[in-house]
Chains A and B, each alone.
Chain A
Amino acid sequence: MLIHRKAPRRVRGNALVVSLVVVMMAAAMGAAMLQMQSGMTMRQKQSTNTKRALYIAEAGLSEAYLAIAQGKSGNIGSADLPAQFGDGVYWVESHSMPDNKIALISNGLCGSGRFSASIVIQKQVNTIASLGMFGGTQMTVGGGAILDGYDSTAGTYESQTQTIGNIQTTGAGAALNANSDITVQGPAVTLGPLRVPLPVTNSTRVYGDAHPGKDKSVSAQANTSITGSTSPNTKILVLPEIQVPAMVSKGSLVLTSTTPVIITNSEARYDSLQVKANAKLVLKGPQIISIGTLQIESTGKLEMDTAGGPVVIYVTDYLNLKSGSVLSSVSRDPKNVALLVAASVTMDRNGDGVADPPVTVASSGEFFGMFYAPYANVLIPSTLRCYGTLASQQLTIGASARATFDKGLLSSSNTIKGLPSMMSWRIVEVPDVPIARSLEDPIVRLKRMGVTPIASAAASVEKKLTITYVDVSGAVRTFVGDAASFNFSSVKRVISQAWQVN
């Protein structure tokens, strides 16, 4: 027989409560887990966005690096009008530093992620100009020579000189470099009645720096003066190779007439070019000319007319500027002339049984430009006044010669220019600007404000391009205008280019 008993009054209905409590606990735990999961997801998303912002900032640095390699400032976009890259945006600020360095700060934004990184890069200047007055295995300054420097971008040489002692000079700016010792000779001294040297009035003066090679030194004789630093270079300076452009030869050319011969072809190659006595050759820019052997006889003249554009001369086999020949330049701007001599072989060229060196410079007159002969020994005579840079395997600035280094060539785009090199990288604080402060997706925010971000490749602030180039048909052309409207595929060779904001 079953006996049904009623549950005690005090526990009646407890199962429901218990089950309610359990359900509530389960619900709470579920909510908590949901909350946790949601938090984790948000953090994960934030982390992902931050990482993406990092990559976008890195992309900005790459874009800015490329811009600097092209000669631009490195400024890309701005906080108000950034560049778009993928799902995010960035902008890069460029700040000039001493010693030709640039600091780039790139700010990347993606979703709610924000990241800023900075690099310092060493702007690579015109590689040849950066050598200054350079001798690879030997650098000698002859007695009584005077070396100084100026900046052609700031005006003419004469506008930057002062009277020091008995000469007009800038008093600073010389840049001697070598991979060897540098020898600075004193002037020739006349012996007086008692066989004692008489005082000199023409001491050798280097108004600037003389940096010998790594672990080498400067040897300065009596009656010499160097006003700047004499510390050795910290590394071996490498002479860049000369890459002579391939051109179809027009054969040989011998100038004998006293009527000046003007070469205006944009590109020309001559196996041999000889300027005889009293003849005159004018090279009119813009021009790139390649010559096998170039000889200027005594009283022959070579003039660079760079009023229309730069002149770049390649000499591949033999350069002989004989004593009595004359060099001159119309515009007197070193940036517009480059004489690049790849000649290296010493051999008898004229059948007299005496081997001739590949380069002889015995001209008078003035040379404005870059003279570069990395495989030859060069002596600069006192009759030739040089402005610009001189670099060769062995360089001797002759007794009583004058040579002036042009600092303005460092930024010249003529000839060989190296790539910038990265010095350091670091994370920096995200700037306190509205678009970065707000955690809103930047693209959404910009759209709401009616701003369309610029495409990354077109985001450099410099838009205006001035370019002189040789087009595919061989003609020299100049373009000035918006880079976006320029057809780069029509360019065979760039002679010079410059960028401006507007």
Chain B
Amino acid sequence: MIRVALIFVVIALAAAAPHVYAQSVTSQPASRPAGVPATPAERVEALRARPPASADELALSLLEAGEEAASQMIQSICKDPLRGAARDGSGARRNHLYQLLEKLPASVLDGFSRKFTNPAQRTALQALVLDVLEWSGRTSGDVLIAIQIFGAREPGDLEYPGLATKFETTVAAILRRDMKLMEAVGKMIAKADLNLQFNLLAAVGATRTRAGSRYLCEQLGRAPVLDGLILQNIGRVRGLVPVALSDADLLKIRGYLNSHEPEIRREAALTLGRLEDFEAVPTLIDALDDSHRGARENAYWALRKISKVQFRPDSARWRAWYESEKHWWESAGRARLSQLNSAEEPKVIEAIKDLAGRKLYRNEITEALLPLITNDRSTITTVAYAAIVSLQSNRAIPGLAAKLESGDEASRRRAIEALAAITGESCGEHREDWLRQLE
């Protein structure tokens, strides 16, 4: 019996030894010479080893660790709170830290009125909490807390621009996790004062999403002082294709090209270029003669973006080109498109060659050319590929991406080359990778 008991004790000790060892290793602070203060990294390490008991204590510890170290720690904990549930207990500590971080915003907000009366400390805490929310926020409640934290200032406080940027980044990060929050945020914007509206609209723009752009478009004109900011942000989206807005929205934006304020005209021109609004071409051509240099240069950039043509900024030249393209489309364009269906190869090739240079109607022409691309190596396919690349229209992307699933290696290679030439990007060899760029 005694032997059995002894065996059990030995086994128990063997099982517990790693825990004890790990505790002893991680609990011991790194030895350093007396008088030399701990580095931020060491403070964070100490925090991990012995998490504080409350969120308030955590906040103060993070402030002591310094902005950069605290930010890194917050990121690493919030990104994957449950990682590392090792036998040494570090996983449990990590979990505990994450839970404290989740409580931190509310705790700090509550503490603003009670404890954190020093303005510098308050500003630092605001930045800290916004950092936490940026990495862990998921609900409209989190957005509300971010607004409250950002607004927790007293008369005489200095509002640092870096804090505004951090606030916008935080709200944008929360929105990106769930764009359905847009509706709730929209209500918050409607109730906010002008300054907060500015920050929230900038945050919506910072999401770089199509839904964000559409929301911003709806806000145009409601508060003229915000129009410049809104125009700056409409159309700033990730992906290879511009956001599609309704005709009414595009018409509204085009109207801003006639604004009395030169900076508004400038931003409107840029926005129309980002949106690749073909209908705006005549107005943009007129803007080449704007009295404000910024508006002229932005209009020039927009024209080159929309048309893919590289004339000099000479309105007469552009106007002549536009009129010539319009006339061609009305008189011969549709006939040429019909010619693509001809049974005679020379006629089809002749039509393709004529269509390849018509940049103003490149979207329609590209869609008409896509069916001509087959997996064979016929002359028509070759010429059609060349024409599609020359037209530089993003409408080619879905059709070319579909070719990536072809069983023919040569066809796949051709499609990849064409996609890269049109977009200037290299998104791999899989259809899904390219289609993701359209979202």
Of residues 223 through 255 on chain B, the ones whose CB sits less than 8 Å from some CB of chain A are 228-229, 232, 236
Is residue A183 within 8 Å, beta carbon to beta carbon, of the partner chain?
A: yes
Is residue A12 within 8 Å, beta carbon to beta carbon, of the partner chain?
A: no
The minimal Cβ–Cβ distance linking A254 to chain B, given in whole angstroms, is: 25
Is residue A481 within 8 Å, beta carbon to beta carbon, of the partner chain?
A: no
The minimal Cβ–Cβ distance linking A489 to chain B, given in whole angstroms, is: 44
> Are the C-beta atoms of B154 and A195 separated by less than 8 Å?
yes
> Are the C-beta atoms of B159 and A217 separated by less than 8 Å?
no
Contact of A222 among B160, B195, B274, B301 (CB under 8 A): B195
Is residue A462 within 8 Å, beta carbon to beta carbon, of the partner chain?
A: no
Contact of A188 among B159, B266, B297 (CB under 8 A): B159
Of residues 283 through 305 on chain B, the ones whose CB sits less than 8 Å from some CB of chain A are 293-294, 296-298, 300-302, 304
Is residue B380 within 8 Å, beta carbon to beta carbon, of the partner chain?
A: no
Known: A217-B236, A228-B297, A229-B294. A197 touches B161 (CB 8 A): no
Chain B positions 159 through 175: 1 when the CB is less than 8 Å from some CB of chain A, otherwise 0? 11110110000000000
Contact of A186 among B39, B161, B267, B296 (CB under 8 A): B161
Q: B296 — which chain A residues lie within 8 A by C-beta? A: 229
Q: A191 — which chain B residues lie within 8 A by C-beta? A: 153-159
Chain A positions 208 through 225: 1 when the CB is less than 8 Å from some CB of chain B, otherwise 0? 010000000111111001
Chain A positions 183 through 213: 1 when the CB is less than 8 Å from some CB of chain B, otherwise 0? 1011111111111110000000000010000
The minimal Cβ–Cβ distance linking A116 to chain B, given in whole angstroms, is: 23
When chains A and B are docked, how far (Å) is the Cα of A352 from the Cα of B162? 28
> Are the C-beta atoms of B161 and A187 separated by less than 8 Å?
yes
> Are the C-beta atoms of A230 and B266 separated by less than 8 Å?
yes
When chains A and B are docked, how far (Å) is the Cα of A195 from the Cα of B112? 15
When chains A and B are docked, how far (Å) is the Cα of A225 from the Cα of B41? 40
Q: A143 — which chain B residues lie within 8 A by C-beta? A: 160-161
Contact of B294 among A194, A221, A226, A234 (CB under 8 A): A226
Q: B266 — which chain A residues lie within 8 A by C-beta? A: 229-230
> Are the C-beta atoms of B160 and A188 separated by less than 8 Å?
yes
Q: B156 — which chain A residues lie within 8 A by C-beta? A: 190-191
Known: A221-B164, A222-B195. A188 touches B158 (CB 8 A): yes
Is residue A8 within 8 Å, beta carbon to beta carbon, of the partner chain?
A: no
> Are the C-beta atoms of B161 and A231 separated by less than 8 Å?
no
> Are the C-beta atoms of A353 and B39 separated by less than 8 Å?
yes
When chains A and B are docked, how far (Å) is the Cα of A365 from the Cα of B195? 36
> Are the C-beta atoms of A222 and B198 separated by less than 8 Å?
yes
Contact of A217 among B195, B232, B297 (CB under 8 A): B232
Q: A217 — which chain B residues lie within 8 A by C-beta? A: 232, 236, 270, 274
The minimal Cβ–Cβ distance linking B161 to chain A, given in whole angstroms, is: 4
> Are the C-beta atoms of A232 and B301 separated by less than 8 Å?
yes
Is residue A246 within 8 Å, beta carbon to beta carbon, of the partner chain?
A: no
> Are the C-beta atoms of B267 and A230 separated by less than 8 Å?
yes
Is residue B202 within 8 Å, beta carbon to beta carbon, of the partner chain?
A: yes
Is residue B263 within 8 Å, beta carbon to beta carbon, of the partner chain?
A: yes
> Are the C-beta atoms of B294 and A195 separated by less than 8 Å?
no
Contact of A197 among B195, B206, B270, B302 (CB under 8 A): B195
> Are the C-beta atoms of A195 and B155 separated by less than 8 Å?
yes
When chains A and B are docked, how far (Å) is the Cα of A143 from the Cα of B232? 19
Q: A219 — which chain B residues lie within 8 A by C-beta? A: 202, 206, 232
When chains A and B are docked, how far (Å) is the Cα of A219 from the Cα of B208? 12
Classify the interface of chain B: helix, strand, loop or mixed.
Answer: helix
- Residue among B40, B151, B296, B301 with the highest chain A CB neighbour number at 10 A: B301
Is residue A88 within 8 Å, beta carbon to beta carbon, of the partner chain?
A: no
Is residue A7 within 8 Å, beta carbon to beta carbon, of the partner chain?
A: no
Is residue A354 within 8 Å, beta carbon to beta carbon, of the partner chain?
A: yes
When chains A and B are docked, how far (Å) is the Cα of A221 from the Cα of B160? 12
When chains A and B are docked, how far (Å) is the Cα of A281 from the Cα of B274? 51
Of residues 190 through 206 on chain B, the ones whose CB sits less than 8 Å from some CB of chain A are 193, 195, 198, 202, 206
Q: A221 — which chain B residues lie within 8 A by C-beta? A: 161, 164-165, 198, 202
> Are the C-beta atoms of B161 and A188 separated by less than 8 Å?
yes
> Are the C-beta atoms of B294 and A185 separated by less than 8 Å?
no
Q: B42 — which chain A residues lie within 8 A by C-beta? A: 353
Q: B157 — which chain A residues lie within 8 A by C-beta? A: 190-191
**Which residue of chain A is the closest to B162 with respect to CB atoms?**
A185
> Are the C-beta atoms of B159 and A231 separated by less than 8 Å?
no
Q: B164 — which chain A residues lie within 8 A by C-beta? A: 185-186, 221
**Which residue of chain B is the closest to A222 with respect to CB atoms?**
B198
> Are the C-beta atoms of A230 and B270 separated by less than 8 Å?
yes
> Are the C-beta atoms of A185 and B165 separated by less than 8 Å?
yes
Q: A353 — which chain B residues lie within 8 A by C-beta? A: 36, 39, 41-42
> Are the C-beta atoms of B298 and A197 separated by less than 8 Å?
no
Is residue A113 within 8 Å, beta carbon to beta carbon, of the partner chain?
A: no
When chains A and B are docked, how far (Å) is the Cα of A191 from the Cα of B160? 11
The minimal Cβ–Cβ distance linking B362 to chain A, given in whole angstroms, is: 18
When chains A and B are docked, how far (Å) is the Cα of A142 from the Cα of B161? 8
Is residue A227 within 8 Å, beta carbon to beta carbon, of the partner chain?
A: yes
Q: A186 — which chain B residues lie within 8 A by C-beta? A: 161, 164
> Are the C-beta atoms of A183 and B297 separated by less than 8 Å?
no
9 cross-chain CB contacts under 8 A: A185-B162, A191-B153, A191-B156, A195-B155, A218-B232, A222-B198, A230-B267, A231-B300, A352-B39
Known pairs A143-B161, A230-B294, A354-B39 / 19 extra A-B pairs, C-beta < 8 Å = A185-B161, A185-B164, A188-B160, A190-B159, A192-B155, A195-B153, A197-B195, A217-B232, A220-B228, A220-B229, A221-B165, A222-B195, A226-B263, A228-B294, A229-B266, A229-B297, A231-B297, A231-B298, A234-B301
